[in-house]
Structure 1
Amino acid sequence: MTTKLETLEASLRAVLGEQIQDLTLALGELTLRVKPEDYLSVMRALRDHADLRFEELIDLCGVDYSTYGEGAWDGARFAVVSHLLSMTHNWRLRVRVFAVDDELPVLASLIDVWPSANWYEREAFDFFGILFEGHNDLRRILTDYGFIGHPFRKDFPVSGYVEMRYDPEQKRVIYQPVTIEPREIVPRVIREEHYGIK
Protein backbone atom coordinates (compact mmCIF):
# COMPACT_ATOMS: atom_id res chain seq x y z
CA MET A 1 0.00 0.00 0.00
CA THR A 2 1.47 3.36 -1.00
CA THR A 3 1.41 6.26 1.38
CA LYS A 4 0.08 9.71 0.55
CA LEU A 5 3.64 11.11 0.35
CA GLU A 6 4.71 8.36 -2.05
CA THR A 7 1.69 9.15 -4.23
CA LEU A 8 2.56 12.85 -4.17
CA GLU A 9 6.21 12.15 -5.00
CA ALA A 10 5.22 9.94 -7.95
CA SER A 11 2.80 12.60 -9.21
CA LEU A 12 5.46 15.31 -8.94
CA ARG A 13 7.99 13.21 -10.86
CA ALA A 14 5.43 12.36 -13.56
CA VAL A 15 4.17 15.93 -14.05
CA LEU A 16 7.40 17.92 -13.64
CA GLY A 17 10.01 15.44 -14.89
CA GLU A 18 13.28 17.22 -15.75
CA GLN A 19 12.15 20.45 -14.09
CA ILE A 20 12.82 18.85 -10.71
CA GLN A 21 16.28 19.85 -9.54
CA ASP A 22 15.93 17.98 -6.26
CA LEU A 23 13.11 16.26 -4.37
CA THR A 24 13.74 15.26 -0.77
CA LEU A 25 11.66 13.63 1.91
CA ALA A 26 12.59 14.58 5.48
CA LEU A 27 10.58 14.56 8.69
CA GLY A 28 7.42 13.56 6.88
CA GLU A 29 7.53 16.47 4.39
CA LEU A 30 8.52 16.75 0.74
CA THR A 31 10.74 19.60 -0.43
CA LEU A 32 10.95 20.34 -4.14
CA ARG A 33 13.88 22.41 -5.43
CA VAL A 34 13.61 23.99 -8.87
CA LYS A 35 15.83 26.17 -11.06
CA PRO A 36 14.95 29.88 -11.19
CA GLU A 37 14.23 29.72 -14.92
CA ASP A 38 11.64 26.95 -14.32
CA TYR A 39 10.14 28.50 -11.18
CA LEU A 40 7.04 30.17 -12.68
CA SER A 41 6.11 27.29 -15.00
CA VAL A 42 6.57 24.74 -12.20
CA MET A 43 4.35 26.75 -9.86
CA ARG A 44 1.63 27.01 -12.51
CA ALA A 45 1.81 23.24 -13.07
CA LEU A 46 1.59 22.63 -9.32
CA ARG A 47 -1.57 24.73 -9.19
CA ASP A 48 -3.27 23.59 -12.40
CA HIS A 49 -2.42 19.92 -12.99
CA ALA A 50 -5.26 17.62 -11.88
CA ASP A 51 -2.83 15.18 -10.20
CA LEU A 52 -1.40 17.94 -7.99
CA ARG A 53 -3.94 20.78 -7.54
CA PHE A 54 -2.11 23.00 -5.05
CA GLU A 55 -4.82 25.62 -4.84
CA GLU A 56 -3.37 27.57 -1.94
CA LEU A 57 -0.10 29.33 -1.28
CA ILE A 58 0.18 29.13 2.50
CA ASP A 59 3.45 31.01 2.89
CA LEU A 60 6.39 32.44 0.97
CA CYS A 61 9.54 33.68 2.65
CA GLY A 62 13.08 34.69 1.85
CA VAL A 63 16.14 32.92 3.27
CA ASP A 64 19.76 34.08 3.50
CA TYR A 65 22.05 31.03 3.45
CA SER A 66 25.31 32.98 3.81
CA THR A 67 26.06 31.61 7.30
CA TYR A 68 24.21 28.32 6.95
CA GLY A 69 26.11 25.39 8.40
CA GLU A 70 28.42 27.78 10.24
CA GLY A 71 29.67 29.25 6.98
CA ALA A 72 30.19 25.92 5.24
CA TRP A 73 27.43 26.64 2.68
CA ASP A 74 28.75 26.55 -0.88
CA GLY A 75 25.67 27.50 -2.89
CA ALA A 76 23.70 30.58 -3.86
CA ARG A 77 23.05 32.95 -0.98
CA PHE A 78 19.35 33.85 -1.34
CA ALA A 79 16.39 31.54 -1.72
CA VAL A 80 12.63 31.79 -1.66
CA VAL A 81 10.75 29.02 0.10
CA SER A 82 7.03 28.54 -0.54
CA HIS A 83 4.59 26.26 1.24
CA LEU A 84 1.66 24.98 -0.79
CA LEU A 85 -1.57 23.23 0.17
CA SER A 86 -3.82 21.06 -1.95
CA MET A 87 -7.30 20.99 -0.45
CA THR A 88 -8.40 18.60 -3.20
CA HIS A 89 -5.80 15.95 -2.33
CA ASN A 90 -5.14 17.03 1.28
CA TRP A 91 -1.36 17.29 0.96
CA ARG A 92 1.36 19.89 1.40
CA LEU A 93 4.58 20.71 -0.40
CA ARG A 94 7.58 22.95 0.23
CA VAL A 95 9.18 24.53 -2.86
CA ARG A 96 12.65 26.10 -2.73
CA VAL A 97 14.26 28.19 -5.47
CA PHE A 98 17.63 29.96 -5.30
CA ALA A 99 18.32 33.33 -6.94
CA VAL A 100 21.26 33.20 -9.33
CA ASP A 101 22.90 36.53 -8.45
CA ASP A 102 23.86 37.11 -4.80
CA GLU A 103 24.41 40.84 -5.39
CA LEU A 104 21.00 41.42 -6.98
CA PRO A 105 18.70 38.45 -6.26
CA VAL A 106 15.81 38.35 -8.74
CA LEU A 107 13.06 35.73 -9.11
CA ALA A 108 9.75 35.60 -10.95
CA SER A 109 6.71 36.87 -9.10
CA LEU A 110 3.87 34.48 -8.27
CA ILE A 111 1.09 37.08 -7.98
CA ASP A 112 -0.44 35.93 -11.27
CA VAL A 113 -0.51 32.34 -9.98
CA TRP A 114 -1.61 33.04 -6.39
CA PRO A 115 -2.66 36.64 -5.64
CA SER A 116 -1.85 36.01 -1.96
CA ALA A 117 1.86 36.07 -2.93
CA ASN A 118 1.63 39.87 -3.10
CA TRP A 119 2.30 40.64 0.57
CA TYR A 120 4.68 37.70 1.04
CA GLU A 121 6.86 38.89 -1.83
CA ARG A 122 6.81 42.44 -0.52
CA GLU A 123 8.00 41.12 2.85
CA ALA A 124 10.82 39.10 1.22
CA PHE A 125 11.83 42.22 -0.72
CA ASP A 126 11.70 44.40 2.38
CA PHE A 127 13.66 42.08 4.67
CA PHE A 128 16.05 40.33 2.25
CA GLY A 129 16.22 42.57 -0.83
CA ILE A 130 14.92 39.85 -3.16
CA LEU A 131 13.33 41.40 -6.25
CA PHE A 132 10.30 39.77 -7.87
CA GLU A 133 10.09 40.29 -11.60
CA GLY A 134 6.52 41.03 -12.67
CA HIS A 135 5.34 42.22 -9.24
CA ASN A 136 3.24 45.34 -9.82
CA ASP A 137 3.68 46.95 -6.37
CA LEU A 138 7.04 45.91 -4.95
CA ARG A 139 7.66 48.31 -2.06
CA ARG A 140 8.47 48.04 1.62
CA ILE A 141 5.74 46.60 3.80
CA LEU A 142 7.03 46.38 7.39
CA THR A 143 9.94 48.84 7.59
CA ASP A 144 9.78 52.57 7.00
CA TYR A 145 9.88 53.70 3.35
CA GLY A 146 13.14 55.55 4.05
CA PHE A 147 14.73 52.52 5.71
CA ILE A 148 18.24 51.76 4.47
CA GLY A 149 19.19 48.14 3.82
CA HIS A 150 17.44 44.83 4.38
CA PRO A 151 17.38 43.84 8.08
CA PHE A 152 17.12 40.04 7.74
CA ARG A 153 20.30 39.73 5.72
CA LYS A 154 22.98 38.04 7.80
CA ASP A 155 25.45 40.88 7.21
CA PHE A 156 23.03 43.59 8.41
CA PRO A 157 24.25 45.05 11.72
CA VAL A 158 22.09 44.30 14.75
CA SER A 159 21.91 48.00 15.62
CA GLY A 160 21.17 49.05 12.02
CA TYR A 161 22.71 51.94 10.10
CA VAL A 162 20.52 54.87 11.17
CA GLU A 163 18.27 55.63 14.10
CA MET A 164 15.11 57.68 14.21
CA ARG A 165 14.20 60.07 17.01
CA TYR A 166 11.98 63.03 17.66
CA ASP A 167 13.86 66.33 17.79
CA PRO A 168 12.03 68.81 20.06
CA GLU A 169 13.91 71.80 18.59
CA GLN A 170 12.95 70.95 15.01
CA LYS A 171 9.57 69.57 16.14
CA ARG A 172 9.81 66.60 13.79
CA VAL A 173 11.24 63.11 13.49
CA ILE A 174 14.84 63.03 12.27
CA TYR A 175 17.19 60.30 11.11
CA GLN A 176 20.80 60.22 12.25
CA PRO A 177 23.71 57.74 12.24
CA VAL A 178 23.49 55.11 14.95
CA THR A 179 24.93 56.34 18.24
CA ILE A 180 24.77 53.00 20.04
CA GLU A 181 28.19 51.56 20.80
CA PRO A 182 28.27 47.89 19.85
CA ARG A 183 29.12 45.66 22.79
CA GLU A 184 29.23 42.00 23.51
CA ILE A 185 27.35 40.90 26.57
CA VAL A 186 28.53 37.71 28.20
CA PRO A 187 25.97 36.36 30.66
CA ARG A 188 27.17 35.58 34.15
CA VAL A 189 26.62 31.93 34.93
CA ILE A 190 26.32 30.87 38.54
CA ARG A 191 26.60 27.19 39.17
CA GLU A 192 25.55 26.14 42.62
CA GLU A 193 25.96 22.55 43.55
CA HIS A 194 22.53 22.19 45.13
CA TYR A 195 20.62 24.97 43.35
CA GLY A 196 16.87 24.65 43.84
CA ILE A 197 17.09 21.73 46.24
CA LYS A 198 15.98 22.35 49.82
Structure 2
Amino acid sequence: MSKLDTLKLALETALGGKIQNIKTALGEVTLQVAAADYLAVAKILRDHSELRFEQLIDLCGLDYSTYCDGAHEGARYAVVSHLLSVNKNWRLRLKVFCPDDAFPCVAALTPVWNSANWFEREAFDLFGIIFDGHEDLRRILTDYGFIGHPMRKDFPTSGHVEMRYDAEAKRVIYQPVTIEPRDITPRIIREDNYGGL
Protein backbone atom coordinates (compact mmCIF):
# COMPACT_ATOMS: atom_id res chain seq x y z
CA MET A 1 0.00 0.00 0.00
CA SER A 2 1.41 3.39 -1.01
CA LYS A 3 1.81 6.30 1.38
CA LEU A 4 -1.06 8.20 -0.30
CA ASP A 5 -3.34 5.17 0.01
CA THR A 6 -2.43 4.95 3.71
CA LEU A 7 -3.32 8.64 4.12
CA LYS A 8 -6.64 8.21 2.28
CA LEU A 9 -7.55 5.22 4.45
CA ALA A 10 -6.65 7.14 7.62
CA LEU A 11 -8.79 10.10 6.47
CA GLU A 12 -11.77 7.85 5.66
CA THR A 13 -11.46 6.12 9.02
CA ALA A 14 -11.14 9.34 11.04
CA LEU A 15 -13.67 11.49 9.18
CA GLY A 16 -16.26 9.04 7.85
CA GLY A 17 -19.38 10.86 6.65
CA LYS A 18 -17.80 14.31 6.90
CA ILE A 19 -15.97 13.69 3.60
CA GLN A 20 -17.71 15.14 0.54
CA ASN A 21 -14.96 14.18 -1.87
CA ILE A 22 -11.46 12.77 -1.66
CA LYS A 23 -9.14 12.31 -4.61
CA THR A 24 -5.51 11.73 -5.43
CA ALA A 25 -3.93 13.52 -8.36
CA LEU A 26 -0.31 14.30 -9.22
CA GLY A 27 0.92 12.74 -5.99
CA GLU A 28 -1.32 14.83 -3.73
CA VAL A 29 -4.49 14.12 -1.77
CA THR A 30 -7.33 16.66 -1.87
CA LEU A 31 -10.08 16.41 0.74
CA GLN A 32 -13.32 18.36 0.27
CA VAL A 33 -15.71 18.91 3.18
CA ALA A 34 -18.92 20.87 3.75
CA ALA A 35 -18.72 24.34 5.28
CA ALA A 36 -20.74 23.12 8.28
CA ASP A 37 -18.06 20.50 9.07
CA TYR A 38 -15.01 22.61 8.20
CA LEU A 39 -13.86 23.60 11.71
CA ALA A 40 -14.61 20.18 13.23
CA VAL A 41 -12.68 18.44 10.44
CA ALA A 42 -9.73 20.79 10.96
CA LYS A 43 -9.57 19.86 14.64
CA ILE A 44 -9.70 16.15 13.80
CA LEU A 45 -6.96 16.57 11.19
CA ARG A 46 -4.75 18.25 13.78
CA ASP A 47 -5.51 16.03 16.79
CA HIS A 48 -6.18 12.53 15.45
CA SER A 49 -3.25 10.20 16.23
CA GLU A 50 -3.24 8.70 12.72
CA LEU A 51 -3.23 12.09 10.95
CA ARG A 52 -1.36 14.65 13.09
CA PHE A 53 -1.45 17.66 10.73
CA GLU A 54 0.40 20.07 13.04
CA GLN A 55 0.98 22.85 10.51
CA LEU A 56 -1.14 24.91 8.17
CA ILE A 57 1.37 26.08 5.57
CA ASP A 58 -0.95 27.97 3.22
CA LEU A 59 -4.56 29.09 2.81
CA CYS A 60 -6.08 30.89 -0.16
CA GLY A 61 -9.40 31.90 -1.65
CA LEU A 62 -10.67 30.84 -5.08
CA ASP A 63 -13.31 32.29 -7.40
CA TYR A 64 -14.83 29.61 -9.64
CA SER A 65 -17.13 31.97 -11.56
CA THR A 66 -15.27 31.55 -14.87
CA TYR A 67 -13.86 28.07 -14.21
CA CYS A 68 -14.06 25.94 -17.39
CA ASP A 69 -15.44 28.98 -19.25
CA GLY A 70 -18.36 29.27 -16.86
CA ALA A 71 -19.30 25.60 -17.09
CA HIS A 72 -18.67 25.09 -13.35
CA GLU A 73 -21.85 24.27 -11.45
CA GLY A 74 -21.96 24.87 -7.75
CA ALA A 75 -20.76 27.47 -5.29
CA ARG A 76 -18.61 30.30 -6.60
CA TYR A 77 -16.11 30.77 -3.76
CA ALA A 78 -13.86 28.20 -2.13
CA VAL A 79 -11.12 28.20 0.48
CA VAL A 80 -8.17 25.84 0.06
CA SER A 81 -5.74 25.05 2.87
CA HIS A 82 -2.49 23.16 2.60
CA LEU A 83 -1.60 21.13 5.67
CA LEU A 84 1.61 19.40 6.72
CA SER A 85 2.20 16.58 9.16
CA VAL A 86 5.83 16.62 10.24
CA ASN A 87 5.20 13.58 12.43
CA LYS A 88 3.78 11.45 9.60
CA ASN A 89 5.68 13.20 6.78
CA TRP A 90 2.67 13.83 4.53
CA ARG A 91 0.68 16.72 3.11
CA LEU A 92 -3.00 17.34 2.49
CA ARG A 93 -5.04 19.87 0.56
CA LEU A 94 -8.30 20.74 2.38
CA LYS A 95 -11.02 22.38 0.28
CA VAL A 96 -14.33 23.90 1.35
CA PHE A 97 -16.89 25.83 -0.70
CA CYS A 98 -18.73 28.83 0.75
CA PRO A 99 -22.44 27.92 0.69
CA ASP A 100 -23.70 31.45 -0.12
CA ASP A 101 -22.27 33.29 -3.14
CA ALA A 102 -23.82 36.60 -2.07
CA PHE A 103 -22.17 36.41 1.38
CA PRO A 104 -19.25 33.96 1.20
CA CYS A 105 -18.51 32.77 4.71
CA VAL A 106 -16.75 29.81 6.34
CA ALA A 107 -15.38 29.19 9.83
CA ALA A 108 -12.00 30.64 10.74
CA LEU A 109 -9.16 28.17 11.22
CA THR A 110 -7.20 30.52 13.51
CA PRO A 111 -8.43 28.67 16.65
CA VAL A 112 -6.88 25.47 15.23
CA TRP A 113 -3.75 26.83 13.52
CA ASN A 114 -2.83 30.41 14.36
CA SER A 115 -0.75 30.56 11.16
CA ALA A 116 -4.08 30.96 9.31
CA ASN A 117 -4.41 34.52 10.65
CA TRP A 118 -2.79 36.52 7.84
CA PHE A 119 -3.83 34.06 5.13
CA GLU A 120 -7.49 34.49 6.12
CA ARG A 121 -7.09 38.26 6.17
CA GLU A 122 -5.63 38.08 2.66
CA ALA A 123 -8.51 35.90 1.39
CA PHE A 124 -10.97 38.34 2.98
CA ASP A 125 -9.24 41.34 1.43
CA LEU A 126 -8.81 39.93 -2.08
CA PHE A 127 -11.93 37.73 -2.43
CA GLY A 128 -14.35 39.07 0.21
CA ILE A 129 -14.60 35.71 2.01
CA ILE A 130 -15.70 36.14 5.63
CA PHE A 131 -14.03 33.91 8.22
CA ASP A 132 -16.46 33.48 11.08
CA GLY A 133 -14.61 33.58 14.41
CA HIS A 134 -11.55 35.43 13.15
CA GLU A 135 -10.54 37.96 15.82
CA ASP A 136 -9.03 40.62 13.52
CA LEU A 137 -10.58 40.31 10.07
CA ARG A 138 -9.56 43.48 8.26
CA ARG A 139 -7.80 44.35 5.04
CA ILE A 140 -4.13 43.43 4.82
CA LEU A 141 -2.96 44.27 1.27
CA THR A 142 -5.31 46.99 0.02
CA ASP A 143 -6.09 50.34 1.58
CA TYR A 144 -8.77 50.44 4.28
CA GLY A 145 -10.96 52.63 2.06
CA PHE A 146 -10.57 50.32 -0.93
CA ILE A 147 -13.85 49.41 -2.61
CA GLY A 148 -14.34 45.81 -3.73
CA HIS A 149 -12.16 42.72 -3.77
CA PRO A 150 -9.57 42.74 -6.57
CA MET A 151 -9.11 38.98 -7.08
CA ARG A 152 -12.76 38.38 -7.88
CA LYS A 153 -13.22 37.56 -11.54
CA ASP A 154 -15.78 40.35 -12.01
CA PHE A 155 -13.52 43.08 -10.57
CA PRO A 156 -12.49 45.54 -13.33
CA THR A 157 -8.84 45.28 -14.35
CA SER A 158 -8.35 49.03 -14.10
CA GLY A 159 -10.07 49.22 -10.69
CA HIS A 160 -12.55 51.84 -9.53
CA VAL A 161 -10.26 54.65 -8.32
CA GLU A 162 -6.67 55.71 -8.71
CA MET A 163 -4.48 57.59 -6.30
CA ARG A 164 -1.74 60.10 -6.88
CA TYR A 165 0.31 62.55 -4.90
CA ASP A 166 -0.88 66.15 -5.26
CA ALA A 167 2.08 68.51 -4.78
CA GLU A 168 -0.17 71.53 -4.14
CA ALA A 169 -2.29 69.80 -1.50
CA LYS A 170 0.81 67.93 -0.22
CA ARG A 171 -1.11 64.71 0.21
CA VAL A 172 -2.28 61.62 -1.63
CA ILE A 173 -5.65 62.08 -3.31
CA TYR A 174 -8.10 59.59 -4.77
CA GLN A 175 -9.90 60.21 -8.04
CA PRO A 176 -11.94 58.26 -10.59
CA VAL A 177 -9.91 56.11 -12.97
CA THR A 178 -8.62 58.14 -15.91
CA ILE A 179 -7.33 55.19 -17.93
CA GLU A 180 -9.48 54.45 -20.95
CA PRO A 181 -10.01 50.72 -21.47
CA ARG A 182 -8.62 49.47 -24.77
CA ASP A 183 -7.83 46.26 -26.54
CA ILE A 184 -4.13 45.69 -26.89
CA THR A 185 -3.20 43.70 -29.95
CA PRO A 186 0.52 42.91 -30.12
CA ARG A 187 2.35 43.76 -33.30
CA ILE A 188 5.26 41.61 -34.33
CA ILE A 189 7.68 43.17 -36.73
CA ARG A 190 10.35 40.90 -38.14
CA GLU A 191 13.06 41.87 -40.52
CA ASP A 192 13.96 39.79 -43.54
CA ASN A 193 17.12 38.58 -41.84
CA TYR A 194 15.48 37.90 -38.46
CA GLY A 195 17.60 35.56 -36.36
CA GLY A 196 20.57 35.80 -38.69
CA LEU A 197 19.15 33.39 -41.23
Normalised to the residue count of structure 2, the TM-score between the two structures is 0.96
Q: Does 1:89 align with 2:93?
A: no
Q: Deviations over 1:64-90 (max 9, x none)?
A: 000011111111100000000000000
Aligned length: 197
Normalised to the residue count of structure 1, the TM-score between the two structures is 0.96
Letter in 1 for 2:27: G
Which 4+ residue blocks in structure 1 deviate beyond 6 angstroms?
191-194
Q: Deviations over 1:93-144 (max 9, x none)?
A: 0011000111110100000000000000000000000000000100000111
In structure 1, the partner of 2:74 is 75
- SS of 2:62's equivalent in the other structure is strand
Q: Deviations over 1:16-41 (max 9, x none)?
A: 00000000111111100000000000
Structure 1 residue runs of 5 or longer lacking an equivalent are none
Q: Does 1:164 align with 2:160?
A: no
- SS of 1:163's equivalent in the other structure is strand
- SS of 1:23's equivalent in the other structure is strand
In structure 1, the partner of 2:110 is 111
In structure 2, the partner of 1:132 is 131
Q: Does 1:34 align with 2:33?
A: yes
Letter in 1 for 2:122: E
- What is the Cα deviation at residue 197 of structure 1? 4.9
Letter in 2 for 1:18: G
Deviates more, 1:44-53 or 1:172-181: 172-181
In structure 2, the partner of 1:66 is 65
In structure 2, the partner of 1:50 is 49
Distance 1:87 1:127 in 2: 30
- What is the Cα deviation at residue 191 of structure 1? 6.6
Distance 1:197 1:152 in 2: 43
In structure 1, the partner of 2:186 is 187
- What is the Cα deviation at residue 168 of structure 1? 2.1
Q: Does 1:147 align with 2:146?
A: yes
- What is the Cα deviation at residue 4 of structure 1? 0.5
- What is the Cα deviation at residue 196 of structure 1? 2.2
User: Taking every aligned residue pair, what percent have the same amino acid on both sides?
Assistant: 67
Q: Does 1:98 align with 2:97?
A: yes
Deviates more, 1:164-173 or 1:135-144: 164-173
Distance 1:110 1:125 in 2: 13
- What is the Cα deviation at residue 194 of structure 1? 7.4
Deviates more, 1:161-170 or 1:178-187: 161-170
* RMSD, matched Cα: 1.3
Distance 1:193 1:68 in 2: 42
Distance 1:21 1:32 in 2: 8
- SS of 2:36's equivalent in the other structure is coil
Structure 2 residue runs of 5 or longer lacking an equivalent are none
- What is the Cα deviation at residue 166 of structure 1? 1.3
